[in-house]
Structure 1
């Protein structure tokens, strides 16, 4: 029975609904291909991703084959390689009659090939200079040409929809040399993100979560480092929740929120009569966190006396309440956080070097929000969902111009500032969408980069291009493919510009 435009449109709608940006990439695309094959009645469907390092197409995800094919195609080789080279779709009405069809993926008998058609379309990134990053192909029963052309158009539309996820998979594939991401590991990380209320889709935060998963179930002291507002407390709680201590207390103390004379009593507790006003004994945070986790935020604010006692508690596993001569054994896992340069404080004799080495066993650096702009929109939508429910609003989305303002702003206050911004916008909004005028004036008046008016237009453009390239290479540590992704350009364009301006990417690669 011929396929109708309406049935394929409905298939596309269902497939789009499965593309969850907060779920692992590979399992998400596998589900999309499975659903597409089932609804469109394809015998097989495969996604092959281009590897710029080897200049080959590698089958990455498939459905209908007994296993994902291990063979590769060079550009121009066979139907699939030809689609990669030309960027044009190819429709083969009868597989067995097409000399270009090499059947390299295997699993098809000559008899079956005589009864199947084959459609192959390019997967191209969006933008003016779209880059061909893969090829999407499907086996389907032979039918008349109009019906096959309809499926070709459908697969082209699907290719455009999955291009972004395919680009991220390409990056992962290159990072892991010859392997795609481990689905089990990605699923585990996604589950941990969800359980701990952490919203992130950037590679930078994926690396942070990977470190947290590595250290969570150990006894190692963790030092979370990053600017104020990056979510250090939430990540400390995630470390606790992923550890074997998850059922024991998670106790917090902000060392900057209390006067120095009160910090010791809060940490170690006190006995009745230890000081004026101590009318009864009180447990400190160490005792309250026994067999659990103690999170010490802004550790750099501790007084010299408190630092000495904290060092003793960590070294000996014992504390003394103020006014007591008795030692109490404690079993506490320590997680610390700071936005200060502790190394500079050591130079100024404001922080003990021996304590620094005790708490810096496993440092984790949390990137600022401006260093992980991919997280801005998911975070904004997450906060919008929370505040819409809290304030009884029916706000369904953030408008495109408002999204542009959010993603272009430099966020000096990081996630905390973004949260406050979305809460304000939610309160002001009486519409179904957040608009630019609901956002704070700081976002709407943020200064853009100045240009040197003494330069000619061509010189100014060239200088701006060089600055963009250098910044992208710094950020990606000299990785040209990742730099191209950062700049939303193609590898070929970035390679050409780098050679044009005489930029050496190796300068930005860290020395081993």
Structure 2
């Protein structure tokens, strides 16, 4: 029996879509665990966009099967596994392209394994499934699936819903790779294959004196084998600095293995670091080489080292002192040659005084400390980073953004960036995503950057008054009109639907020089003729 499509539900309301994307990007911002971020993302799809049963499926790296990971209503989602190519979900994973099922009932390849939908539900529901991609060098790898039920509708509307889910899947792509690591409890080895400039990766953006000092310190540390402790607030780029240190060291052709000590429960850290022997505990069905052995001859980076358990601290100290480790359930001691790099945003000295961190381990890892300053203390780095992220996200999302307006730059420079580089990256990713113009403007930036808190009006915070806000908007619109008109004031006035006298007054008020926006062909005497107040004011 065939289904009849329901009338259009006006699903793709532009404002609603932007609000949902804003909620998704906020969920992926600093301060949330990965699982919490994905759960909030699914909640946004269900509550704001009215998708039914949104869920994410990821690949199990051991078996190669697809397994259900997270859904909006966990109680309604039993475990289910799909071999690649089996069912709609398996087909999307195998082929790497989205599939729309206009009506579930009567579709032979729709297996209905996960939620046990009734015949009545299947008669009125469509199913949309899109792949989650991750860029892996020159290749695009499908690492997961994002899908949802939705009421049956005309094909054009289902296509719009599918495109919306694809946009969300782009945002999830890089995050899903982290979930694979959490499920498999494995951490990839990273080889330093970037071109080097002065011993450091050329991708590092640093213009400030303080960051140049940090990079000099890393270059000095790279030549030796002393343990390095990277210190700084969350989001300042300690992981990138660890990669730079490894790239500047003689070990650059050997693996760099990375572990976030706060990402795993304390009872799992020991096995992750030192490995285990088959039969050491329930579930240990095969031998496992720990991260110390994986990093043999290379570098091991322990992020958030202050979160190590007391037992793990003792074993890390022994590995540093003796150069050997002992896997769980194994009587042998195995020699390893590992250069240890640690990072933390916690005050280790206070943890030592409180008895939460071993004093002897503290002195072992603090041989060569490097402090990475927060972004608010190095404003010279903000604009180069903005240019880098704008170019990167414009290319990634296929957006037209090419530059940032002056008022928007002023806001970015004035903000205090508590989340540091990570927050700057997320803000610009959101801004590029919602910007439909070649110029990213201040209204594309989150309200919190302009002093907005908890939804309060900007002028209610006392940081920016109504008059100043209106003036910023006026100035930005005039500059944009002049740029579009190639410096022609009369045309800019017409585009803004105001008189020449008003735009001339506003240009003087806001100190706007129209000559900056003249077309290259307008030079010399013609530029002088277009100057406000000249005898040829009628020229347009």
TM-score by length of 1: 0.50
TM-score by length of 2: 0.47
